[in-house]
Amino acid sequence: MTESVTKHGDAIELHAMHSQRSSPNSSASSSSSALNYGATAYTPLIPRSVMDPKIEDELQASKGEIVGASYTSPARPASVDEFGNPLTTYDRKSLLVNHELDRMGMGRYQWFIVGLCAMGYMLADLLWAQAFGLIAPPLQRELGFSDIEMGNIFTSFSAGLCAGAFMWGVLVDVIGEPLHLQPVICSLMPLLGRRWAFNLTVLITSVFGLAIGGPSNYNAIIVLTAFIGLGIGGNIPIDTTITLEFLPQNKRYLLPALSVGQPIGVVLCSALAYGFIPNYSCPSDLKSCKFTAPGEACCSRSQNQGWRYLCFCLGAISLFVFLLRFIVFNFQESPRFLLSKGRDEEAIEVLRKVAKTNRTTCTLKIEDLRAEDEYAGGDTKVKA
């Protein structure tokens, strides 16, 4: 095996060239095809600020070629992916950020992210979906909705989920560099990014969740239900993205643990419904007041507050999660999002704040990122 070191700017990339040696006693016949045909294994870019001083001294002494050792300067481009395709400047900067997060390890900041995103899963996936199934009978009994109208309410919730998943999944990447949007939209929504979407989705869910217990009008309930779905629909894709972008690579197996929030949401919603709906709902034999004569016993609003109490509680829980995300926990914008918008200084500042929360230090410097711009001629755009 031979190793090589390529230097560009202030970043170093190590290469390990593997080749199979023919030997009658070799037991490597069942080894991977990478060894059979020869392959290049690439480690992430290492910023000069954290590079091994021995390698740096050898590079400076030999100007890229280490005489008498196995280090050489390859002719092919140094920064490539596992398939041999050249990486963009953004890709190389992202590797440096990943390397820094890996070095910091799993700290307090990452555990806060996992916990808050699990709460998002609790709200987004099953808590509210369970609620609409539980409030349907008393809602229909009081307001006199037909089966078709009740079906439309469920459809509006599902439509909001679909629209939210698509809209928020696009907005977190598109809205952040307002070059191709209309001026009015740009002035109202200048820089969303991961951070604002992380909070806005829960805020929308809480506001419209609290509001849905107020009206007794069919059209109002349809609209409010759709907006609850709109907020919920964006929660899971955003929370998943944020979790992956802040976790060290060797801890990304924790992503499925976010799903623990789903059964918690079901149990919590069912427990609240068990306390409210049977005790604060009309008897099942009463009809809606819209179908009875004046003075006849009917299912009035004052007798049927259970489903509203449930919605108020779920809205309050959603608001509590929003306050945790927005006020209690100082959530930082994703460094990779900032890099994609050319905001390198802010990305470094975010890493420093994460390191401070984790009670460690940040070794990546802005000079390390600028070196990548110099190496690539200033090409900082994300390319397909």
The confidence score (pLDDT) of residue 330 equals 82
Residue 217 in any domain: the answer is yes
Closest by CA position to 96, among listed 43, 41, 45, 49: 45
The confidence score (pLDDT) of residue 192 equals 59
25 lies in the same domain as 124: no
Residue 10 in any domain: the answer is yes
Burial annotation 22-40 (CB, 10 A radius, 16+ → b, else e): eeeeeeeeeeeeeeeeebe
* Surface-to-core class of residue 153, CB atoms within 10 Å of its CB (0-12 exposed, 13-18 middle, 19+ buried): buried
The confidence score (pLDDT) of residue 79 equals 59
225 lies in the same domain as 300: yes
The confidence score (pLDDT) of residue 80 equals 67
For the record, the structure tokens of 274 come out as 């068990």
Residue 146 in any domain: the answer is yes
208 lies in the same domain as 262: yes
Within 10 angstroms of residue 90's Cβ, the number of other Cβ atoms is 20
The confidence score (pLDDT) of residue 356 equals 94
Tens digits of residue pLDDT in 25-82 = 444 343 333 333 333 334 445 555 555 555 555 544 444 433 333 333 322 234 566 6
Residue 372 in any domain: the answer is no
Work out the end-to-end distance of the chain between its first and last CA atoms, rounded to an integer number of angstroms: 33
The confidence score (pLDDT) of residue 151 equals 94
Residues of the chain with pLDDT under 50: 1-44, 59-78, 176-191, 378-384
Q: What is the crossing angle of helices 261-276 and 108-121, to 10°? A: 50
The confidence score (pLDDT) of residue 77 equals 32
- pTM, 2 dp: 0.72
CA atoms lying within 13 Å on the CB side of residue 326? 14
**Residue range(s) defining the domain that contains residue 217:** 108-357
Q: Which of 46, 70, 97 is the last residue before a domain boundary? A: 97
298 lies in the same domain as 241: yes
Residue 371 in any domain: the answer is no
120 lies in the same domain as 7: no
Number of domains in the chain: 2
Within 10 angstroms of residue 19's Cβ, the number of other Cβ atoms is 11
91 lies in the same domain as 123: no
> What's the CA gap between 382 and 384, in Å, rounded?
7
> What's the CA gap between 194 and 229, in Å, rounded?
19
Q: Which residue type, as a one-letter code, is found at position 114?
A: V
